[in-house]
Structure 1
Amino acid sequence: MTTGVDAGRLAALHQREVERFIAERPQSAAMFEHAKEHLHGGVPMSWMAKWPGPYPVFVQSAHGAHFTCVDGIDHVDLCLGDTGAMVGHSPDATVARVREQVERGITAMLPTADASVAAEELSRRFGLPQWQFTLSATDANRHVIRYARHVTGRAKVLVIDWCYHGTVDETFATLDGDQVVPRRGNIGAPVPPSETTVVVPFNDVPALERALATGEVACVLLEPAMTNIGIVLPDDGYHQALRRLTREHGTLLVMDETHTLCAGPGGCTAAWGLEPDVVVVGKTIGAGIPAGAFGFTSELSERIRRSVELEDIDVGGIGGTLAGNALSLAAVATTLTEVLMALMSPATTEADVDRHTEAFAECAGELFATQ
């Protein structure tokens, strides 16, 4: 089988770009070598070493859709901090509010007015009345799983094959035939995932029904559309079947909208009329300031209230010293109400995405045609 791609020419073009990268970024190279003395792998977080090129680019500043590296090169940023800066780097309104809040106080482990503003706006967008805040969507997913197990008395979590929900142990599982196994690359000796996790393929309603019928599943945790293996959209009727089956079997339905928030002001939950028990968000809600959140129904709120002892809440595995801090909530409240264009309709969002995608495809086609 031939692909029509000249492998030799592709290799030559790649080598040319590597040499150009090295020639243009000597300061990044020097900083990388120095960083390796005290940073494992030369980076503060291991993912930062995975970019193409012989070493990572070190950033000097970032604003909007661009960042400038320490070698003074302006980059058009198509990653935007893996959507942490989906609204653009350092939006003016959030920067101004964060600067003000830093001077007033960063954290006190007590609520601020911004917490209510942020929760009210999230409730308006997603239709869920009760909210809690964390430092990341990963933490939010962990807390939701704990609450789900607590109120249902069940041990297992159901996730989708090849899903991604942050560094949550229960979600690092995939299918090998009909066996639940650790996901490739999972670091550490994990608890056998079959003890904690049920895995089914996305859009497979019969598999979902069989799994829920055991009565062992506390919650189903999934994205409304899968985003970490490309975009996988739900089949017609899938979400309706998912909601019906989870209700029939007493299983909580959790939508992780961390990535799919870009579908509109209320993510896919609002755009598609979904009715989850819990919604998880993070990353972009704080414009890059660490923040996550989870919202849930009044019914679930009451179940939690009745079954959790307030005296032991700080050692119960929920929350954290810096979760819901004043700085994060100032960023979230401002980003949601001033930056993320809360009044924009899903239809307008979709039209803008289509327009920009077509323009990008046209520019990319012209670029590749000249190589």
Structure 2
Amino acid sequence: MTAFFQTLGMSYEWAWFVATVCGILLIALPLMLAVAMIIYVDRKIWAAMALRRGPNVVGPFGLLQSFADGLKVFLQETIIPSAANKGLFLIAPVVTFTLALLSWAVIPFNSGAFVSNINIGLLYILAISSLGVYGTIMAGWASNSKYPFFSAMRASAQMISYEVSIGFILITVVLWAGTFNMNDIVWAQKGHVLGIINGFAANPLLFPMWVMFLISSLAETQRAPFDLAEAESELVAGYQTEYSSMAFAAYWLGEYANVLLMCALNATLFWGGWLPPLDIPVLYLVPGFIWFLIKVFGFFFVFSWIKATVPRYRYDQLMRLGWKVFLPVSLLFVVLVSGYLMATGHFQ
């Protein structure tokens, strides 16, 4: 894209700048639209699970319901509690929403279709996701209210706990792919199993890692059955209890952007990303981004299915699963995978 703008007479510096901005908009704007529509899809799936209709009035088939909800919160007054720390109270949702979008910079939608192809893409995602806890803690503390503060403490402990096991799970992927580059990780999955199946998830040593990563993704994004930070029977509505108007909507949108990100990571790291399921020439006639979107939507359906059917964990069960099950098992598989790769000469 930089070369295209240079042909229009721009210097290299200006061409690079304009091309980068265009690349960001090509990712951010469709993502914002996708977040709005995925909220509608989420509600429709829940309704179908409960034998209800779901949104079906605003627009054809209720497709404009998310935009109507967005207009409603946009027109509401932003109320700031009198005892709140006003600066942090207003910055917190901005931090959460911004960090939710930043991680998408290194997600490859197709071969060569990404904002940035940095060699440490996976480390970048881990760094950004670990910063996400700050938006939650800031909201709970700045509200100067007990329930949001309790929720923020729960959420921070939950996110930190499962990030530890996620780190070890991703080490196994990096060991097998031999790179932190997201684009190269996808290419490493081409014909990975039996020379015909694309994806690490079909590997017997990595399949348990994918199952743990999927469950950890639910905990990391605070989705049911791990939505302890928003347990309405205990904490009213969680760390965003005191928020209203667009500040509340920013948390809502940031949560769904993170859910989509985790769906994209499941597809990219374990299920071949934009690659078709099988390494068969005829399947490559379908554009790669179509395969990618199908996989992302498939994982989102699983997320919604789980939320509609699985009861909420107790907090002690949540922490036990993270520290006493996932952490030792992920450490064991790091040893098993690295030992297997050393024994087979993979590192030579």
Normalization by structure 1: what TM-score?
0.26
- The answer to which structure has the higher strand fraction is 1
Find the structure with the greater CA-based Rg: 1
